[in-house]
Chains A and B, each alone.
Chain A
Amino acid sequence: MVLQKKKMTKERFLKAFKRDKYLYLLFLPILIWYIIFCYLPMGGLVIAFQEFSPGLGLFKSKFVGFKWFIQFFGSPFAYRLVRNTVLISLYSLVFGFPVPILFAVCVTELRNTAIRKTVQTVSYLPHFISTVVVVGMIKNFLSMNDGIINNFIALLGGERINFLMDPKYFRTIYVASGVWQSFGYSSIIYIAAIVGIDPSLYESAKIDGITKFKEVWYITVPMIAPTITILFIMQLGRIMSVGFEKVFLLYSPGVYETADVISTYVYRKGIESSEYGFSTAVGLFNSVINFLFVFGANQVCHKLTNTSLW
């Protein structure tokens, strides 16, 4: 009986395999790619628990347990890095999140189609400019001697400010330029949600003689509230993942106090100083926290909407 069942599963499997052989053939290279480039590095995370030396390799390096984690959390950097990472995300969320919503409401109220299209198209543009160029513009605009911002301050009779070397400006620069880069593109989804609202709601409101302000407040905002909620939760889930590139390109040793985030620290320790074990441990700590946040956010969204990314 059991034997027969076993035989049947085997037969079924063979039959399925024969039927799907071309699908397997297609998928095989991708499977291999995923194993090599995504799953092997996950295996490589054991480095976080080793005194890793590239000469000895993964299997012969000495196992040191949680040494690197203890070292990291015992250092003054742990607090600073987590604080900077969280604060940069949090400020980006607080200042960056409402702008696309406000912009979407305004854009959809523009009655002149040509103006509306132009404003919209231009607003997406910064999203497609590379981080290097964006940071290049920021640095040159803020430059002490010949940047436009300081030229303007000087024109008004003010004192030139060394924005890029003063830690107290870093987050402002990062967040403000981040809003500039993303508000237009982020607004697309809200615009679609607003356009999708049933026009009869507005028509009946008009008959009741409601003002435009009230219309936005009592119809538009409640109707796009689900979209807002979902996007807010997803952003909260990314609170521990600050994009490496922009911080890396924008910061300098003088502003590490407010600018250095976990990913840039891992880069310096791992790639520049070759402290593989230690930096892998720090990176792993970040990955795990990230995973928990994103997973949690996804679960909450799932509960709210019965859809999920998973």
Chain B
Amino acid sequence: MILSKKKNDIIGSFSDGAFYALVYVFALVAFFITLYPFVYVLAVSMSGGEAINKGIVWLYPVDISFEGYKQVMFNNKSIWLAYGNTIYYTVVGTVFNIVATVIAAYPLSRTTFSGRRFFNFLIAFVMYFHGGLIPTYLLITNIGLYNSRWVMIIPGLVTSYNVMVCRSAFSAIPDEIMESASIDGANDIHILSRIAIKLITPTLAVITLYYAVSHWNNFFTALLYISDSNLHPLQVLLRRVLIQASSELMDNSTGLEEKLIVSLQVRYVTIVVATLPILAIYPFLQKYFVKGVMLGAVKG
């Protein structure tokens, strides 16, 4: 009896050992696969042209050189122009998003608000059905938003999903707080701006982040509605350089042979320059992203 238990234990611990080995192997493979593309891009961006050409850069920079960075960052100002535009769209756009989301969500969270059910339906319905690309395109070009900075801000003013998340946060505020404020003579605008908004800051932080990331990554709006390259955000420039292999960020004085080598490096440098800010702030913000998923899950 005792013996057989011991035997079971041995089998058990052997099998558990295999289990943990498997778990660690899988986790490490996932880790490596996720990170490797970034590591590789970074390595190529800092390597010497000859090493890149020979294809011997795999994991770390070979013959470290910052030639590529020099070209991308100092040769012409187009990347900085695009950077500036993206920062502008992200900052201004996110401020508009937050204000609009709050003033949409607060009334909808008040149980006394007449018409609440109808308005709730109105904003939920567009999550399921929308006019589609062409009618929206015709509308936006017809109301004069084509080639205007506002096109990056106004048509994406609110997302119904975020309004709903924000609405649930407002709904979670205890009624007594609101009631005591309104007995003290505060109207809804006061209650919202002085009390309610402070009580939902954790949710607002998450929503701000979502809006900011979507502005930073927004490419399609600019593709459709902005042809003036002075207004182009970073993502449109990235598309030209990375995907359409445009040579606009390269130094034109170098010879053809050299150009071929450098062109690959310039593309990888561009990736680094464009994603580094996100990678730099990401570790500090990631807990909010996780929180965001959970907000959505509770709501659903």
Contact = CB atoms under 8 A, between A and B. Distances in A.
Contacts, number: 263
Interface in B18-77: 19-20, 22-24, 26-28, 30-31, 33-35, 37-38, 40-41, 52-53, 55, 58
A304 interface: no
B168 to A, nearest CB: 12
21 contacts: A23-B106, A27-B108, A30-B104, A34-B126, A42-B135, A109-B19, A110-B23, A119-B31, A130-B238, A132-B217, A136-B238, A136-B242, A141-B40, A146-B264, A185-B289, A213-B15, A271-B133, A283-B134, A286-B132, A287-B130, A294-B128
Interface extent on A, as a size class? 35 or more
Contact of B19 (A38, A131, A213): A213
A192 B30 CA distance: 19
Contacts of A73: none
Interface string A7-42: 000000100110110111111011101101111111
Interface stretch (A75-83, A148-156, A165-173): A148-156
Nearest to A151: B55
Most chain-A CB neighbours within 10 Å: which of B58, B119, B131?
B131
- Give the interface size bracket for B toward A: 35 or more
B144 interface: no
B126 to A, nearest CB: 4
Nearest to B239: A132
B179 interface: no
Contacts of A31: 119, 122
A267 B19 contact: no
B129 to A, nearest CB: 5
Contacts of B128: 291, 294-295
Interface string A126-144: 1111111101110111000
A212 B138 contact: no
A31 to B, nearest CB: 7
B165 to A, nearest CB: 12
Nearest to A112: B24
A197 interface: no
Contact of B131 (A20, A42, A123): A42
A122 B132 contact: no
A102 interface: yes
Contact of B133 (A213, A263, A295): A263
A271 B300 CA distance: 35
Contacts of B238: 130, 132-133, 136
B294 interface: yes
Contacts of B154: 33, 37
B130 A42 contact: yes
Contact of B20 (A30, A212, A295): A212
Given A23-B188, A155-B55, A249-B239, A128 B278 contact: yes
Contact of B33 (A30, A180, A290): A180
A26 B133 contact: no
B267 A140 contact: yes
A189 B171 CA distance: 23
A236 interface: no
Contact of A22 (B155, B187, B267, B290): B187
Contacts of B5: 209
Interface in A44-99: 44-45, 47, 54
Interface stretch (B198-206, B248-256, B268-276): B268-276
B219 interface: yes
Nearest to B140: A37
A118 interface: yes
A228 interface: no
Contacts of B110: 20, 23
A38 B130 CA distance: 7
A276 interface: yes
B195 interface: no
A17 B135 contact: no
Interface string A274-298: 0010011001101100110011000
A284 B132 contact: yes
A110 B27 contact: yes
A182 to B, nearest CB: 11
Contacts of B123: 34
Contacts of B26: 102-103, 106
Contact of A279 (B12, B126, B134, B293): B134
B92 interface: no
A26 B102 CA distance: 9
Contacts of B278: 128-129
Contacts of B55: 146, 151, 154-155
A180 B20 CA distance: 23
A27 B110 CA distance: 12
Given A41-B135, A45-B131, A283-B132, A189 B293 contact: yes
Contacts of A47: 134-135, 138
B9 interface: yes
B243 A103 contact: no
Contacts of A124: 286, 289-290
A109 to B, nearest CB: 5
B112 to A, nearest CB: 7
